[in-house]
Amino acid sequence: MADRFRLTMAQLNPTVGALEANAEKAYAAWQEGKRAGADMVALPEMFLTGYQTQDLIAKPAFVADATAAMEALGARITDGPALGIGGPWWDDEGHFNAYWVWKDGKLVARMLKHDLPHHGIFDEYRIYDSGPISGPYAINGVRIGTPICEDAWHPDVAETLAETGAEILIVPNGSPYYRGKLDVRMTHMVTRVVETGLPLVYLNAVGGQDDQVFDGASFVLNRHGALAAQFAPFDEIIDHVDFIREDDGWACVEGRDDPQPSEWEQDYRAMVEGLGDYLRKSGFSKVVLGLSGGIDSALVATIAADALGPQAVHCVMLPSEYTSQGSLDDAAELAKRQGLRLDTVRIDGARDAVSEALSHLMAGTQPDVTEENIQSRLRGVMLMALSNKFGEMLLTTGNKSEMAVGYATIYGDMSGGYNPIKDLYKTRVFETCRWRNANHRPWMKGPEGEVIPVEIIDKPPSAELRPDQKDEDSLPPYPVLDAILEGLVENDASVSDLMAQGFERETIKKVEHLLYISEWKRFQSAPGTRLSRRAFWLDRRYPIVNRWRDQGHETEPVTDPFRS
């Protein structure tokens, strides 16, 4: 009977649909485990296909290709450790999210996910069937239980595995980031450890996929919930943990203990990784964006420089007579500090041409938001032209506050392929800029120091589409606006709830109205990095046409079905 079991944990970044590349990455991890004398190498949930696949996994041809790639990989796993890797399995019983375990060129076990997530961004009932709860499998004399991701968030699978002889639990995950997610995971996993009395390995993927970013932060817990190992978030890591047999069961020898950064750093890292992977996995290596001299575009440019390097970031100023000299100077200073290319294209002539073309239809009307939006849309046209011509993905720069209330022009400043700050409220935009100025990390490809001029952070926000315009002409002050939005969006608070917190009913109703009537804009907006539990798109799904409004009546509290 073995007294030591070495597990290689491969916290890696797959690409959805890149079956051969993912298989090669898995095989390279297996080889590293073999060199280290591992008994088993483990990779995350659905690693072979990438995660989440959404409805791609419903295509029989894709699953057939994935199965063939899985079997070809398994045939290579000889004369070395076992390999555990996630991938789909279809048979006459159903379509399953599975975890395949290979050793000596043969399939040792195929575990099927039982508890399918159907909350927030997950909707696995649509694409998978619930598998039966399986017992453990043996690797070199050690009985391993493998609850797959959501299976470990509920007691049934882990308890059954413990009752049927499992000695160590290895939990492969595709768990995306949101602020504070590690604490939530840790709470659930400690509960499973206490319930079963077994050590537990929580192995998570890293990397961006569309709006989601998988943050890794894998860990190992010993009996009674003691932390034995902790991996850094967002980094690709292959490392080994050793379990030893004690009188009362297996225990993990204390291993690496990587620090877990603050929520400000993790949010920023998520935006950098999300943008970088979205571009790399889509086949882009350069970006273009409109640099206004304002704080939102300054932050997006900085994120892009940290993700790609300054040489890959093309900034364009698109001024009119309403653009202040201060904005021109601030944009130029930011580009200089970060080494970004900055060009200028004036929109006056194009705007005048459009105004002249429409003049016979608009005669007798007064200038209003229509003329302002023409300017924004012309900027979008010019930036998209540069994107098309030079193969640079256009980044859009609206923050969550603006996206919430529609303070952005559809087909104008909303034009673009990705928005890294889409889930970042305006007040957090300010603080994130201050954090970046004060901090630099090795994973940042941009320069150190105060890369965002303080003048950009301190000046009152303005769209500069008319003389002396300020955002607060149309919106409540951002601290008030964001507090109300956090109540309405993040917490589903009622008007009465917010009034009880001291906000004026008129202000609440205005914000609520803007939130609901802007749904159609968000429906057409670019994807962006998910940072919260209620990011726009999959986390919060509202009808575009909606005539209901909260009248502020007293209501009884109800259980939130999305808060699991």
Q: Is 290 annotated as a binding residue?
A: yes
Q: Is 397 annotated as a binding residue?
A: yes
Q: Which of 31, 5, 30, 6 is nearest to 240 (CA)?
A: 6
Catalytic pick from 25, 103, 124, 149? 149
Structure tokens at 417: 């392929």
Q: Is 521 annotated as a binding residue?
A: yes
DSSP for 213-279, please give it: EEEB--EEE-GGG-EEEEPPBSS-EEEEEEEEEETTEEEEPP--B-----HHHHHHHHHHHHHHHHH
Whole-number CA gyration radius for the chain: 26
Q: Is 339 annotated as a binding residue?
A: no
Integer Cα distance of 398 and 369 in angstroms: 18
DSSP for 106-171, please give it: EEEEEEE--S---STT--GGGT-PPPPPP--EEETTEEEE---GGGGGSHHHHHHHHHTT--EEEE
Catalytic pick from 25, 113, 281, 422? 113
149 catalytically annotated: yes
45 catalytically annotated: yes
Burial of 143 (0-12, 13-18, 19+ CB in 10 A): middle
Exposure string for 144-153, b = 16+ CB within 10 A, e = fewer: bbbbbbbbbb
Integer Cα distance of 290 and 305 in angstroms: 14
Give the Cα-Cα-Cα angle 281, 396, 266 (nearest 5 degrees).
65
113 catalytically annotated: yes
Integer Cα distance of 40 and 263 in angstroms: 33
Burial of 556 (0-12, 13-18, 19+ CB in 10 A): exposed
Q: Is 285 annotated as a binding residue?
A: no
Q: Is 470 annotated as a binding residue?
A: no
**Other CB atoms within 10 A of residue 251 CB:** 17
Catalytic pick from 25, 45, 150, 286? 45
- With beta carbons less than 8 A apart as the criterion, state whether 37 and 140 touch: no
Integer Cα distance of 44 and 250 in angstroms: 22
C-alpha to C-alpha distances, 220 to 7, 36, 172, nearest whole angstrom: 11, 19, 12
At residue 455, the 3 state secondary structure works out as: helix
- With beta carbons less than 8 A apart as the criterion, state whether 251 and 238 touch: no
- With beta carbons less than 8 A apart as the criterion, state whether 309 and 340 touch: no
Q: Is 294 annotated as a binding residue?
A: yes
- With beta carbons less than 8 A apart as the criterion, state whether 400 and 424 touch: yes
Q: Is 492 annotated as a binding residue?
A: no
Q: What angle, 0 to 180 degrees and rounded to 10, lies between the N-to-C axes of helices 369-390 and 348-362?
A: 130
Residue with tokens 């790639």: 69
Q: Is 33 annotated as a binding residue?
A: no
Q: Is 297 annotated as a binding residue?
A: yes
Q: Is 22 annotated as a binding residue?
A: no
Structure tokens at 551: 């009248």
**Other CB atoms within 10 A of residue 130 CB:** 15
Running DSSP on this structure, what letter comes out for residue 459?
A: S
Q: Is 415 annotated as a binding residue?
A: no
Peptide bond into 52 cis (omega under 30): yes
Residue positions forming the annotated binding site for L-glutamine: 175, 181
Question: Residues within the annotated binding site?
Answer: 175, 181, 290-297, 373, 397, 402, 521
Catalytic residue set: 45, 113, 149
Specify binding-site residues for deamido-NAD(+).
Answer: 373, 402, 521
Which residues are documented as binding site for ATP?
A: 290-297, 397
